[in-house]
């Protein structure tokens, strides 16, 4: 019986961690899209090498494809940014519902600021063991959305 309870709590905590990591996933996607945009722009600014000695057209087709590619990525970047803001608001709201300030701080630093546990311990002046304990308590007290919709 105790093993089943431990397993249920572990699964619930894994679900909560995955939910809280949603903000970081958006951040990584945004950085990747920005890197793609930068790479495409830098490739277009660099002259292409074509040493075949044959005349070539004006390159208008290349330019329209380039603009379309940029537009597509910029739209994707915008949409990802909107989703990141929504996710941030929901996660932040849920963290702020916790009654213990130290639990709020640990979850904020871990899942919003993307800090490692040792960094959080140093920031807050606690031992690493205390941070892990506070993190576990914060997860236990945090409520997940029931149907996936924001709760604020």
Model pLDDT, residue 59: 47
The reply to whether 57 falls in a domain is: no
The backbone torsions φ and ψ at residue 114, rounded to the nearest 5 degrees and listed phi first, read: 60, 40
The reply to whether 1 falls in a domain is: no
The reply to whether 5 falls in a domain is: no
Q: What is the SS3 assignment for 9?
A: helix
How many C-alpha atoms does 35 have within 13 Å on its Cβ side? Answer: 6
The reply to whether 45 falls in a domain is: no
Model pLDDT, residue 64: 76
The reply to whether 124 falls in a domain is: yes
The reply to whether 6 falls in a domain is: no
The reply to whether 46 falls in a domain is: no
Distance CA 41, CA 73 (A): 12
Model pLDDT, residue 49: 54
Domain containing 128 equals: 14-39+63-152
Model pLDDT, residue 75: 92
- pLDDT tens track for 75-90: 999 999 999 999 999 9
Mark the ranges of the chain whose per-residue pLDDT is less than 50: 58-60
Model pLDDT, residue 11: 84
User: How many domains is the chain built from?
Assistant: 1
DSSP state of 112: T
The reply to whether 104 falls in a domain is: yes
Contacts of 104 (CB under 8 A, 6+ apart): 95, 96, 98, 138
């Amino acid at each position: 019986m105790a093993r089943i309870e431990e397993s249920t709590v572990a699964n619930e905590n894994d679900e909560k961690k995955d939910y809280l990591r949603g903000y970081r996933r958006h951040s990584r996607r945004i950085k990747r899209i920005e890197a793609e945009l930068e790479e495409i722009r830098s490739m277009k600014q660099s002259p292409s090498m074509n040493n075949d000695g044959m005349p070539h057209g004006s390159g208008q087709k290349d330019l329209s494809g380039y603009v379309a590619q940029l537009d597509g990525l910029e739209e994707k970047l915008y949409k990802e940014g909107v989703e990141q803001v929504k996710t941030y608001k929901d996660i932040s709201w849920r963290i702020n519902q916790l009654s213990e300030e130290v639990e709020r701080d640990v979850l904020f630093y871990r899942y919003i600021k993307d800090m490692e546990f040792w960094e959080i311990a140093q920031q807050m002046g606690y031992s690493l063991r205390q941070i892990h304990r506070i993190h576990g308590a914060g997860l236990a007290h945090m409520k997940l959305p029931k149907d996936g919709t924001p709760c604020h």
